[in-house]
Amino acid sequence: MSKTVLITGATSGIGYATAVLLASKNFSLILCGRRQDRLDELVNKFSKETSIITLNFDIRNRESVFKAIGSLPKKFSKIDVLINNAGNAHGLDPIDKGSLDDWDAMLDINVKGLLYVSKAVLPQMVQRESGHIINIGSTAGKEVYPNGNVYCASKHAVDALNQGMRIDLNAYGIRVGAINPGMVETEFSAIRFKGDMDKAKSVYKGFQPLKAMDVADIIHFVISRPYHVNIADLVVMSTAQASSTIVNKND
């Protein structure tokens, strides 16, 4: 029987690429996001290849999270793999100039949203004494860079939660691991810079950044290891990137 995978933030970037790849590998998919048109597009594209259901909810709203996950039909109610992927950066400002709304958004989505979804999915994994949680962190969870302040703090929290979950869920035989990508060319910078496409594009200019599918490919590798193998914490960067601030650009 194929594994059932729940992906948050499935409407773009790494989440979308992961949905596409896992659909082609016949995983059953629960795709979560807020853009219904994109969710519908995924269903139309892949429902012939695999079982697929979508959940439209705002990860910041705890009632909606529990209601949506609690509403899953029987066929999808056993979740084997949870991919905590939803997350964004909002702004890139020095700490004294940052926007409170940006800070709220990053902490609410990247940290509290991840916690709400995990809390909603965990009881059944604990009961079965099996399951796999993949937390999508960031190199920003491993180091801090200028003006990254709150985004880096949110991803450091993901790093801490990844370790904390692994420790607390160890007795139940649940696998927990993080994948921490560096620069990936997605909508990430367009959102960070609030639609300023010149700024967003310049981030990925002059070198070959990671693509969303590069990370999706790693996620597929991680979830298809034998059950006794847990990729606990993985950092992946473009070859041109050495750290958050050192990128070998050719312009």
247 part of the interface to ligand 8X3, by CB under 6 A: no
CA dihedral (176, 180, 186, 190) in degrees, to 10, reads: 110
By CB under 6 A, the count of residues binding ligand 8X3 is 6
- Our CB check for ligand 8X3 shows the closer of 131 and 209 to be 209
Please identify which residue in 174, 183, 212, 247 interacts with ligand 8X3, judged by CB under 6 A: 183
Tokens of 135: 């937390």
**Ramachandran class of 119: left when φ > 0, alpha when ψ lies in -120 to 50, beta otherwise:** alpha
Residue nearest to ligand 8X3 (CB): 138
Tokens of 38: 């994109």
182 part of the interface to ligand 8X3, by CB under 6 A: yes
- Our CB check for ligand 8X3 shows the closer of 5 and 212 to be 212
- Catalytic entry in 151, 172, 204, 227: 151
Please identify which residue in 12, 18, 88, 138 interacts with ligand 8X3, judged by CB under 6 A: 138
Please identify which residue in 6, 23, 140, 247 interacts with ligand 8X3, judged by CB under 6 A: 140
- Our CB check for ligand 8X3 shows the closer of 4 and 238 to be 238
244 part of the interface to ligand 8X3, by CB under 6 A: yes
CA-CA-CA-CA torsion sign (189, 34, 65, 167): negative
Per CB under 6 A, the segment of 39-47, 56-64, 101-109, 134-142 that binds ligand 8X3 is 134-142
9 part of the interface to ligand 8X3, by CB under 6 A: no
Distance between CA atoms of residues 133 and 196, nearest Å: 34
Instruction: Please report, as a single letter, which amino acid is at residue 190.
Output: A
Per CB under 6 A, the segment of 37-45, 103-111, 135-143, 208-216 that binds ligand 8X3 is 135-143
What is the rounded radius of gyration, in angstroms, for the C-alpha atoms of the chain?
Answer: 17
Tokens of 108: 């609410």
Distance between CA atoms of residues 61 and 148, nearest Å: 25
186 part of the interface to ligand 8X3, by CB under 6 A: no
139 part of the interface to ligand 8X3, by CB under 6 A: yes
Q: How far is the CB of 227 from ligand 8X3 (least distance, A)?
A: 29
- 204 given a catalytic annotation: no
* Residues in contact with 53: Cβ distance below 8 Å, sequence separation at least 6, in sequence order: 29, 30, 31, 72, 73, 76
β 4-7/81-84 pair status: parallel
Count of C-beta atoms within a 10 Å radius of residue 50: 15
84 part of the interface to ligand 8X3, by CB under 6 A: no
Distance between CA atoms of residues 207 and 49, nearest Å: 35
Q: Residue 210's closest CA among 174, 236, 184?
A: 184
Residues near ligand 8X3 (CB under 6 A): 138-140, 182-183, 244
The residues that are catalytic are 151
